[in-house]
């Protein structure tokens, strides 16, 4: 009987020491266990009166992209544009002017999705008249 009581007491002491060690490590090395989850979508930067010019290898303007406001969202790798305006230049033809109410800039600025009152205009030249195209949505792949 003495051996059984001795084993039970030893087991209880070991359980108390193990529990105290676990509790002490939790108190001393307490890490924040709460997870902050938000559904809030926030840009990491906003640019008012945005303007960007891209040149070709010869140093000539390839295109100019402007917007009243640009908002970049890092998790999505997308930028939203208010009133985007794109001018695409060509050595052999007049520039193409495109504007819309809204735009999304994707794929490291290689794709623009313009929506809402999209209008594409190319001024007249010797061989053709002025052309105007309107649409509700336009996908532009740059380069």
Max Cα–Cα distance, the chain, nearest Å: 114
Q: Which two tokens stand for residue 2?
A: 């003495």
The answer to whether residue 2 scores a pLDDT higher than 80 is no
Q: With 0-12 CB in 10 A as exposed, 13-18 as middle and 19+ as buried, what is 15?
A: exposed
pLDDT in tens, 70-109: 999 887 888 999 999 999 998 888 999 999 999 999 877 8
Q: How far is CA 19 from the centre of its chain?
A: 47
Enumerate residues 6+ apart whose C-beta is below 8 A from 63: 53, 54, 86, 87, 88, 89, 142
The answer to whether residue 66 scores a pLDDT higher than 70 is yes
Q: State the pLDDT at residue 110.
A: 87
Q: State the pLDDT at residue 139.
A: 94
Q: State the pLDDT at residue 31.
A: 53
Domains of the chain: 45-141 (2.60.450.10)
Using 50, 70 and 90 to split pLDDT, how confident is the model at 124? Answer: confident
pLDDT in tens, 10-63: 766 666 667 767 766 666 665 555 555 555 678 888 999 999 999 988 888 999
């Amino acid at each position: 009987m003495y051996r059984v009581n001795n084993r039970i007491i030893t087991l209880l002491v070991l359980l108390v020491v193990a529990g105290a060690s676990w509790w002490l490590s939790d108190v001393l090395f307490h890490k924040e266990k709460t997870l902050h989850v938000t559904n809030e979508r926030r840009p990491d930067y906003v640019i008012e009166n945005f303007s960007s010019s891209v040149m070709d290898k010869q140093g000539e303007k390839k295109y100019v992209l402007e917007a009243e406001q640009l908002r970049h969202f890092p998790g999505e790798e997308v930028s939203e544009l208010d009133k985007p305006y794109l001018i695409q230049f060509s050595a052999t033809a007049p520039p193409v002017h495109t504007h819309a109410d809204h735009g999304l800039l994707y794929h490291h600025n290689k794709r623009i999705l313009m929506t809402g009152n999209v209008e594409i205009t190319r001024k007249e030249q010797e061989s053709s008249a002025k052309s105007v195209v309107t649409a509700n949505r336009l996908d532009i792949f740059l380069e």
